[in-house]
Structures are given as structure tokens and as C-alpha cells.
Structure 1
Amino acid sequence: MRAYRFIWSRFMAVASPFDHASRRERLRSLLVTSDLELLVVSRGVHVRYLTGFTGDSTVLLVGRKQDLLVSDGRYTEQLARECAGLAAHVRPSSQKLVDAVPEVIRAQGVNRVGVESASITLAEMERWRELLPAVAWKSCQGLVEGLRVVKDARELQEIQLAVELAQKAYTTWRHGGFSPGTTEKQASDQLEFTLRGIGAQESAFPLIIAGDDGAALPHYHPTAKVLPENGVLLVDWGAQTVHGYKSDLTRTTLLGKGPKPFPQTPELEPAHQAVRTAQMAAIPWLKPGVECSQVDKAVRESLAKVNLEQYFVHGTGHGFGLEIHEAPWFRHGNPEKLQAGMVVTIEPGVYFPERWGIRVEDDFLVTPEGGVCLSDLPRGLELGPRS
């Protein structure tokens, strides 16, 4: 996979501020084609993507000529710092946000308003219709998501940093070994501490540290179970940068001091190799114009050759960035086509209930020339120290 990394330098630029204004301009151009005069952006991650604001309880109104944030007094100073030059309406503490938004919309004098229907409640929508009965409301999905799916150069830098932080933390944590009696939860806490200690804001998601049969659960939660002295260790982890961008990696290795900690399961190494081969089978398809379903198909066909497809119980991968799970989605029947600038995971796995599971996950950038692997940690089943 290292061979793909040379393309990376062609996609990078010198670090620069996030250009939130340009993002809003791109969204503004979509208002015309959607026959909207204004869009109510209510998803917190979308508000952050379009403005840089990191607080909550705040809505962004994007109009054809101007933009306006609707927030409250807790964030007056924060808005001035993070969103300099962007107008803001600060509602009084006696007024609810659900009532402030239509008040501001009324002042704009608009009649055709779009809402992010996936992020508002039915009660909120009914209240807005009650307060603004003359407005033609339109349910909108995918407008901001469509912008976010292709990362700009600044975002790519941030994601690469998230990958590097995750890899450095894992290497430090893993090489330190585990003292006898260490539980999955304690190991998870240690990795979280290591991530933050090297510069990550926090982990990108709740960490998965799974020993033996716990590894057979794809979305396992670490417990008070002691790590096996000789057994499987599956680690699914990632870092989040101070600007909110994430990484997502998985490695499956063995714990133990002996050369053959698994004499009772000789199929473990072939299964691990099959998962790695399946991941490699997906890489040639990571290029613009390829349907997401084709990437998923390549992985499943690879596993089917060794009769392991039935043990692969989830999608092949997904996009990520400000969220750990974003479009595109590598799954059967998804016709969405890859575009240059998408950042995705490829994460095949096989799971044997009450025994063990194996997953190998890496992060990739789609470029005009093909897939670039952003992560380069060893993927083998090499033995790790118990202490």
C-alpha cells in the first residue's frame, strides 16, 4: 500500500485557515437550483463546517444575499472569536431557539424556506408552521452533505494529521505492553490517555478494545474482562484533531509470549490473511467514477474464494471527516460514484461467534490517479507482548 502514498504530496498544500465563506458561497449557489430563498442549517456539524463555530444550540440561516447565525448569550464572545465578520442574532434567555428562528426568518421577508428535515423534530416543524403560516417550507436533505463529501486541501491536511496522531498513539500504547490483570476497559482508558497526550483533542469515537470472543462483536464495548494472556486482541481506534477531524483504524493482533499461542485454532492465520487480501482487492476500485457497490463487491468476492463471505456481516467501509461515519457508503446496491477528494475506510472483517473476530481497517484518499493509503501501520498478526 505504500506505493500509493507518492500521490499524496500532489494533493497537499501549505496549511491555511479553513475557508468557511467559500463553503457558504457554494451552498448559496444551490439555493437557486433548489428554488429556495433561505436554508435553515440546524445540524451542529453542518453549522461548524460552514462557519467554524464549535458551540451548540445555534442555527445558521443561509440566504441568497446574506448569512446569519441565531444563538444565545452564552456564545456571544465565542461567536465573535470563531465567526468574525458573520452576523449573529443573539436571542434573550427568555426566548427559546424554536421561537427565535421564525422571528428572524420573518424579518428576512422570505417565502420559500428549506429545512434540514433529518435534524429537526416534528414538534419544531409544527411550531415554525404555526408562527409562519405563509412560508412555503421545503424538506431538504443532502445539500450540505453533498459539499462535505469531497474534502478540500485544508481538510485533507487535518485528516492526515488525525491518522498520524492515531498511529503514533497506538504504537506508543501497544509497545508499552500490558501488565497482568489489565482489563479491556483499562486498556481503552490507557489508549485514550495516550491519544490526548500526543496532541489529539480526544478519541474519534468510543474505542473498541476486544479480547478473544469480544472481537467477534463488530461494535463491541470494552468491559472489565481481563485481556487474554494468549489470545486475539482487536483494536478499533482513531484520533480527533483540535479542529474536529477524525481518523478510523483497526488492527487485529495476538497477545502472548510463545511462538504459537493459538495451536487450537490453526485457521486464525489463514483467516487473517484472507481479510488482508480482501482489503487489497478493494484498492484498485478506489478511483473516480466507480460505484460504491463495486468496492463492496470486490471485497466480498475475495472472501467468497476462501468460503469466508458469510462471516463478513457489515459494510466494507464509509467516508469520514468531521463525523466518523459519513457518505460515501461501501455496501451492496449503493450506486453513488466515487469522486476525487473523498476520504474513506476499507475495513473487511470476519467474525466467529463466541470464538474470535478479525478486522483490518485503513484510511484512503480517492485521487484522480487512484487510491492513496493514508495509514501505514503494520497489518500482520504479529505477536504482541503481554507485559
Structure 2
Amino acid sequence: MGSDLFTARLKRAQAATAEAGLDALLITPGPDLRYLTGYVAKPLERLTCLVLPADADPVLIVPFLERAAAEAAGVGELGLEIADWQETDDPIALVRQLLPASTKVYGLDDHMWAEKVLRLRAGIPGVEQALAGGVLRELRIRKTPEEVQALRDAGAAIDRVHARIAEWLRPGRTEAEVGRDIGDAIVAEGHVRADFIIVGSGPNGASPHHDVSDRVIQPGDPVVVDIGGTTEAGYCSDETRTYAVGEPDAEFRRYYEVLLEAQMAACDAVRPGVECQEIDRVARRVITDAGYGEYFIHRTGHGIGMEGHEHPYIVEGNTEVLEPGMAFSIEPGIYLPGRHGARIEDIVVCTDTGGERVNLTPRELIVLPG
């Protein structure tokens, strides 16, 4: 993604800031700063902050010792001024100086550390603080063709990891041992880091946010494998498949088929103009009608992009209408406490005519040697 893309994003953000009635945005290290500038800044006690006025040139404030990193990241190619500060300087005073004199309210990125929020409040008195998330959300929620391709690349990379699960998942190994192998493969197959690894075997599969443990995988265990990472381009992957190590019990087989029907129906329901909550309802209706509704205990999905969880959220009560470019997970699950569980998750992008799955590994139950 070239400098022209980030320059355009900065201009769009300025226009959106003015439209929202804010005089400026203050953006510290995190996904919003990377989205706007391409700079993956370190979150430090020293202040790094993009000052983005609605009607004046933006400036990136950095500690002097981080200036070289900002320049190496290509910030200067955006025509973006870099203002550095020394150890004995007051960076909050520099922010105050760079804000337009007429500033009455500025927006703070949603991930800003509370310590910096309070220092800005004390150092810039008489000016109202607001959240910038509502402004940037509208820019980030609809992915451009370049972003959709980045999500496809991330999806293909995590697909390649799932395609190798049989190398590691077998009886006698612990979840943690399997998880370490998966983590290595996430990086080897195209990510710069693994963001999370869930290997939930047997009863641990009934906990949707289980991590890994020292539990030894047993013959006949269903195993929920939910994994994801971040690529060099800064976009996230997230995919869940459920495996059986040997033949599982009949009850698991029965509800896995229900889950597969629900997940496929929800994916097929994606198209522009459909409310987010309707996708949740489609999946939940299938599971409830089959008698497992009480065991589907979380929302159907979450948005994804430069963050693993972002807008839009696929959940009851969210009446937001799907639009082309919106990207999100569809991941219904059924969890029987103390016994086992299952989840199937794909990332789906809303297109002009429907939905495109970026995860293409089989969704049917894969039975590995037990």
C-alpha cells in the first residue's frame, strides 16, 4: 500500500473530523495511527501523537530517539511534518502549540492510554475531549479493494496452517505442545506474529475462549482450533475449525451437522442491505430449532481488519445495514459444558451481490487418526 493511499486516508479523516464537529484528532500508537500513516509506532511512556486538525496540516509528534524509525516507515513521503521532542521537553505543550488556537473539542483515539488522556486534559485546559472512534470507524468499516486483498492474503495464510493440523494434532500430545507447533506455522505461513491460539480438546472445547493447557489429548476427543495472526500488511486472520481425533461420540456428530448448517446458512445470507442482527438470527434459528439454542452462548461474529475485533458486530440488536466492503467473522458455536464443543468460523466480506468467504478450508468435520 503506497503513500498515495495514506495521504488520501489523512484527507478523508480530516473531512470526517470536520463533519463530526471536532476541531482535531489526536492519535497515539495503535491501529488507527497505522491505518492513517502506515507507521507501526511503539507504544511507549514517551508520547508519540498524530495531531490531525480538521482544517490545517497534520503533524506527527515523536520522541527524538524515535524520529529515525518514523522516517524509515515512510512518514515523510506522505508530506507529513515530523516534530520531535527531547527528553527534557514537555510533549503536551507541543500538542497544545500544534492544535489550532480556536480548538474547542478534540477527539482521542479509542486505545489511548488513560495516563496520556489525563495529561492532555490537564495540559490543555478549557478544551473538551471526545472519542475519535466514531470518526475513524466510518472510514475503516468499509474496506477498499486493497484492504480486501490484504484480508484474502491473511485468510489464505491461516488456511495453510489449518491444512497442516494433522501434522501436530494426535492423542498423547498436550494442547500446549500442539499450540506451540501451530504458533510456529502461523509465522512460517505468512504472518509476522501469532495473535492467539486456542486448542480446546474434549471438555475444554466447551469454553469458547479457552487458550491451551497441559491437558493430554485423548482418542475420540473433539478439538476446537481457533487461530489467527497479523500479516506484514497489518491485516488480521481469524479462522476456527473443529477436528475429531478418532471417532467422536454420536451426540457430537449430531450437533456438528446442525452447526455446519447454521454457519453455511449465515454465510449465504450475507448481502448488502441486510441488518447485522439478521445474520445472527439466521445462524441462531437453525441451532435453536434443533434444540441446541441454549448452548450457542456468544454473538455470531465481529468485524476484522487491522484489528482482530472491530466494527461491525454480528449480534442481536445491531441494526446496522451491511454494505460492500464490510468484513466480519461468521462463527456460530455449540458448547456442551463438561463434555465438548464445536465452532466453525470464516471471515466474510460483503460484496455488491452477496458475501465472499476468504477462508476456504473444508468446513465439514475432519476426523484425524486416533
TM-score w.r.t. length of structure 1: 0.88
Gaps in structure 2 of 5+ consecutive residues: none
2:175 maps to which of 159, 184, 205: 184
CA 298–53 in structure 1, closer or farther in 2 if over 3 Å, else same: same
Distance 1:325 1:199, change over 3 A: same
3-state SS of paired residue (2:250): coil
- Deviation digits for residues 153-204 of structure 1, max 9, x if unmatched? 11111111111111112212x232446532111111101111212332112x
User: Of 29, 32, 36, which aligns to 2:15?
Assistant: 29
Q: Which moved more, 1:142-151 or 1:175-184?
A: 175-184
Alpha-carbon spacing, 1:193–1:127, altered in 2? closer, same or farther (3 Å): closer
Q: CA deviation at 1:282?
A: 1.3
User: Hey, what does 1:195 align to over in structure 2?
Assistant: 186
**1:188 partner SS:** helix
1:9-24 to 2 correspondence within 5 Å? 19-24=5-10
In 1, Cα distance between equivalents of 2:206 and 2:278: 26
Distance 1:43 1:31 in 2: 19
Residue equivalent to 1:46: 32
* TM superposition shift of 1:98: 4.5
Percent identity over the alignment? 27
Matched-pair contact (CA < 8 Å) for 1:275–1:303? yes
C-alpha separation between the residues in 1 aligned to 2:136 and 2:49?
14
Distance 1:178 1:271, change over 3 A: closer
Distance in 1 (CA, whole Å) between partners of 2:115 and 2:181 is: 42
For 2:109 and 2:236, locate their aligned partners in 1 and report how far apart those are by CA, in whole Å. 25
Matched, 1:359 2:343: yes
- Which piece of structure 1 moves more, 139-148 or 269-278? 139-148
For 1:379, the equivalent position in structure 2 comes to 363
What does 1:68-217 correspond to in 2, within 5 Å? 68-82=59-73, 83-84=75-76, 85-95=79-89, 97-105=91-99, 108-116=100-108, 118-120=110-112, 124-172=116-164, 174-178=165-169, 181-203=172-194, 205-217=195-207
Structure 1: runs of 5+ lacking an equivalent: 1-14
- Cα displacement string for residues 321-346 of structure 1 (whole angstroms, at most 9, x for unaligned residues): 11100110011111111110011110
Structure 2 counterpart of 1:363, one-letter code: I
Sort the Cα spacing of 1:101 and 1:214 in 2 relative to 1 into closer, same or farther, 3 A: same
In the alignment, which of 193, 215, 224 is matched to residue 234 of structure 1? 224
Question: Aligned partners of 1:179 and 1:315: how far apart in 2?
Answer: 30
Alpha-carbon distance in 2 for matches of 1:142, 1:18: 24
Shift of 1:36: 2.8
CA-based RMSD: 2.1
Q: 2:69 is aligned with what amino acid?
A: Q
Q: Which amino acid aligns with 2:234?
A: G
| Aligned equivalents of 1:162, 1:331: Cα separation in 2 | 24
Is the contact between residue 31 and residue 38 of structure 1 (CA under 8 Å) also seen in structure 2? Answer: yes
Between 1:346-355 and 1:135-144, the stretch displaced more is 135-144
Q: Is the 8 A contact 2:30 2:111 kept in 1?
A: no
SS at match of 1:252: strand
Q: CA–CA distance in 1 between the matches of 2:187 and 2:130? A: 42
Task: State the alpha-carbon separation in 2 of the partners of residues 131 and 202 from structure 1.
Answer: 37
Secondary structure of residue in 1 paired with 2:236:
coil
What's the offset of the Cα at 1:381?
A: 1.6
SS in 1 for 2:196: coil
CA contact (8 A) 2:169 2:245 kept: no
3-state SS of the aligned residue for 2:163?
Answer: helix
Q: Give the conservation status (yes or no) of the 8 Å contact 1:184–1:226.
A: yes
| Conserved? CA contact 1:111–1:134, under 8 Å | no
Deviation at 1:42, TM superposition (A): 3.0
CA distance 1:43–1:354, shift in 2 (3 Å): same
1:248, CA displacement in angstroms? Answer: 0.8
Closer, same or farther: CA 60–237 of 1 in aligned 2, 3 Å = same
User: What's 2:245 paired with?
Assistant: 255
- CA distance 1:101–1:351, change in 2 (3 Å): same
Task: For 1:3-14, list aligned pairs within 5 A.
Answer: none
1:312 to 296, 303, 307: 296
